[in-house]
Structure 1
Amino acid sequence: MLTVVVAAVGLAVVGLAACQQSAGPQDPAADPSTGATAADQRYPDVLDAVVTCEGETCDVEVTISSPYDTAQRYADGWRVSTPDGEVLGEHTLTHDHASEQPFTRTQRGLEIPDDVGSIVVQGRDQEFGFGGRTVTVPVPDR
């Protein structure tokens, strides 16, 4: 009797494993490590940022990916801070960029103190606020 139960449990486990393997993500854009799709993404991701400075101010060119982008919920800005969290400035986006993903915009005239060697850029979502992938970039010598 014990042999029959063990065999039945073994078959059930094999059957379950086969079902799980074949039931993988249906969305080809799903993240293979998590199965998450673009629709699951809660915050925009900052993909890149470039700082250029002239005189007392700097411009920050930011590239953001917001794959769920709609007119009702979209990446509506970013903030620039020091590595220890001091906010140096925020930039507001006034409309969605649904047809332009990822997209790049520039924040001009940002004042970055001379003793700050790098900045952190983080995106903001209309509904959930700040979050997602950030980038840390060096500030050129001025």
Structure 2
Amino acid sequence: MAFAAIFGASSSGANEVGVVKVEGTRAPDGTWRFDVTLHHADEGWDHYADLWQIETPDGQVLGERVLAHPHVNEQPFTRSLSGVRIPDTLDQVIVRARDSVHGYGLRVVYPLPE
């Protein structure tokens, strides 16, 4: 079962990367797939959204998707990450995105669907 949460352009300041939408789906093997939509004013190789992560509420990184190139003409954009193992004790995760100039933006809470 998938659950999507739409956040708008959640960011902590001008030109920082924002998490717009997160959709999580639990696979039959118990791992998770996340589809994360980001918005950022990518300017090219010197300033672009370069990564997003799935974390526990206390900051342990459970998975990360490296973004290999700028998305200047593709905003917002969505990328996926499969095979994320989440402890059964968690009912939410944190999604954070990073850009190559400002670093990490706001921590976005994503409630895991049951």
TM-score range, shorter chain: 0.7 to 0.9
Q: Which has the higher strand share?
A: 2
Aligned partner of 2:47 in structure 1 is: 73
Residues 85-130 of structure 1 show CA distances to partners (whole Å, capped at 9, x for unaligned) of 2221211000011111010111111111111101111111112321
Give the aligned CA root-mean-square deviation in angstroms: 1.6
Match of 1:41 among 3, 11, 14: 14
**Residue 95 of structure 2: SS of its match in structure 1?**
strand
Whether contact under 8 Å (2:50, 2:98) holds in the other structure is: yes
**Distance in structure 2 (CA, Å) of the matches to 1:53 and 1:69:** 35
How far the C-alpha of 1:42 sits from its partner, in A, is 4.0
Residue 90 of structure 1 pairs with residue 48 of structure 2:
no
Given that 1:76 and 1:125 are in contact with CA atoms closer than 8 Å, whether structure 2 keeps it comes out as: yes
Structure-2-length-normalised TM-score = 0.79
* Uncovered stretches (5+) of structure 2, i.e. residues with no partner: 1-12
Checking the alignment, whether the CA contact within 8 Å between 1:44 and 1:124 is kept in structure 2 is yes
What's the % identity of the aligned pairs? 38
* Ranges in structure 1 where 5+ consecutive residues have no aligned partner: 1-39
Whether the 8 Å CA contact 1:51–1:138 is kept in 2: the answer is: no
Aligned mates of 1:71, 1:99 — CA distance in 2: 13
Q: 1:53 to 1:104 in 2, by over 3 A?
A: same
How many correspondences in the alignment? 101
Runs of 4+ aligned structure 1 residues displaced above 6 Å come to none
Conserved? CA contact 1:47–1:135, under 8 Å: no
Q: Residue by residue, what CA displacement relative to the aligned partner does 1:54-90 show, whole Å, maximum 9, x if unpaired?
A: 1221001101000244232100011111222222121
Larger Rg: 1
Helix, strand or coil at the partner of 2:41:
coil
**Larger helix fraction of residues:** 1
